[in-house]
Amino acid sequence: MILPIRTSIETRHTPYINYILIAANIVIFLLSYGPHRVALCLMEALVDHEVSFAVEPPHPDVVEAILRRTGSRPAPAEDAAYVLCEGPSLVRVLARACTGDAEYPDRGATVFCLVDGLWDGPPETAAVVIGLAGPGIAGKRHLAVAGLPAAALGAFAACNAQPPQGVDLVLFTPRGEIACLGRYTRLELEGS
């Protein structure tokens, strides 16, 4: 993590000052980016100067933070390797996201989508309940997602209709809960 305040972990400095600066950096980070702080951590782990990213709808402060932390470059959603969006815009983003091509299916985008909540049991609030099946999933699992339009399931299926081309989807909440849905995952609307 690139910290906003410069720290110097050298033996000649009092270590307690460095600990205070690190703690201040963490507090600044947590307060600065609101619900997008989880996305910034994910982007910082996966994005570098060799790939591009998009933020839909645009949030200039988030774009600036990703640029500063990763050295990556912004691009339109249809060209970006990584796309960050919010639940209401997911259908539009999936319709535009790059799915790779027959020669290079690995060039398909990874879409990070901010949702209100994720549960693997009964939802605590109004949510779309999705049945999950496919590679890596024993039998069938259920995932309840708040803040996800039901139409997103059809858009995800359409993006992944020509394997191995497709889009990977990462759902995350402001609290740090994450669900990763690979392009081979089959989704089925169970209820709402």
Q: What is the pLDDT of residues 22-71, one digit of tens each?
A: 666 666 655 566 677 788 888 888 899 999 999 999 989 889 989 988 89
Q: What is the pLDDT of residues 111-143, one digit of tens each?
A: 999 999 999 877 767 788 899 999 888 888 889
Mean pLDDT of the chain: 85
Query: What does the block give as tokens for 106?
Result: 């690995």
Q: In the chain, list all ranges with CATH 3.40.50.11310.
A: 34-191
Q: What is the pLDDT of residues 179-190, one digit of tens each?
A: 999 999 999 988
**Euclidean distance between CA atoms 151 and 132, whole angstroms:** 16
Q: What is the pLDDT of residues 70-86, one digit of tens each?
A: 899 999 999 999 999 99
pLDDT value at 6 more than 80: no
Give the DSSP per-residue string, 91-112.
HHHHHHS-B--SS-GGGB-EEE
- Which residues make Cβ contacts (< 8 Å) with residue 87, sequence separation at least 6? 113, 114, 115, 116, 147, 148, 149, 152
pLDDT value at 9 more than 70: no
Mean pLDDT across 147-164? 94
Q: Which fold has domain 34-191?
A: Rossmann fold (3.40.50)
Position 190 scores a pLDDT of: 83
- Among residues 185, 97, 180, 192, the alpha carbon closest in space to that of 145 is found at 192
**Euclidean distance between CA atoms 179 and 116, whole angstroms:** 12
